[in-house]
Structure 1
Amino acid sequence: MPSIRFVHTSDLHLGKRFGTMPDTIRSRLVEARHEVIARIADVARSNGASHVLVAGDTFDTETPSDNVRVQALAAMGSDPNLTWCIIPGNHDSLAAETLWERVEADAPPNVRVLSKP
């Protein structure tokens, strides 16, 4: 039986606003959330993994901004040889149908939302 190697992650909370943090560092924290996508992809590639499983809370809310969603999908789509499988979580639940419809509509071919058993 062939094996599969993947990286498992969760709780990226993209779009988190860090409202209690001072303005001087808030934008850096927001950007760092997005930069982690590239770092996860680097870990996958350096360990021979062809898949990344994001097991919940990719987004911090059920209504992330279009910019947050598009930026995340662009980062995930930057390496077409790496497949991203996303499971909705409690912060970005599957009940947020509009969010996941938009993600699926805008997702590059290597990004999949696991919305069905």
Structure 2
Amino acid sequence: MSIKIFHTADLHIGIKYNSYPEPISSALQQSRLDVLEKMVNLANEQECNLFVAAGDLFHNIKGIFARRRCRMVQGI
């Protein structure tokens, strides 16, 4: 019996890019969410048995941003 594991780490979803002007900072924030969605889709396509997100999935767990993202990753 084999087990397929998809591993990622330190996504820091919600990190601010204050040193970048808009719209670049928003695009960088969105890209982290897009990557997470792509990883989840890939793990499902590859029929992985386990999805491991080690380290910091969220940069900051405060506010509605984190609550919305928690709902998103519940589907993993």
1:37 and 2:36 matched: yes
Task: For 1:22 and 1:6, locate their aligned partners in 2 and report how far apart those are by CA, in whole Å.
Answer: 37
Deviation at 1:14, TM superposition (A): 0.8
State the match for 2:70 in structure 1: 73
3-state secondary structure, aligned to 2:56? coil
How high is the sequence identity, in percent, across the aligned residues? Answer: 25
Q: How does 1:35-114 map to 2 (within 5 A)?
A: 35-61=34-60, 64-78=61-75, 82=76
Count of matched residue positions in the alignment of Structure 1 and Structure 2:
76
Please list every run of at least 4 consecutive aligned residues from structure 1 whose deviation after the TM superposition is greater than 4 angstroms: none
CA contact (8 A) 1:11 1:58 kept: yes
* Helix, strand or coil at the partner of 2:67: helix
1:3 maps onto 2:23 in alignment: no
Whose RCO is larger (CA < 8 A, sep 6+)?
Answer: 2
Give TM-score, length-normalised by structure 1: 0.57
Indicate the RMSD between aligned Cα atoms, in angstroms: 1.6
CA drift of 1:74 comes to 1.6
TM superposition score normalised by structure 2: 0.81
* Residue identity matched to 1:70: R
- Any stretches of 5+ residues in structure 2 without a counterpart? none
Say if 1:36 and 1:71 are closer, same or farther in 2 by CA, change over 3 A. Answer: farther
Which segments of 5 or more consecutive residues in structure 1 lack a partner in the other structure? 83-117
User: Which structure has the highest helix share of the two?
Assistant: 2
1:34 deviates by 1.6
Shift of 1:66: 2.3
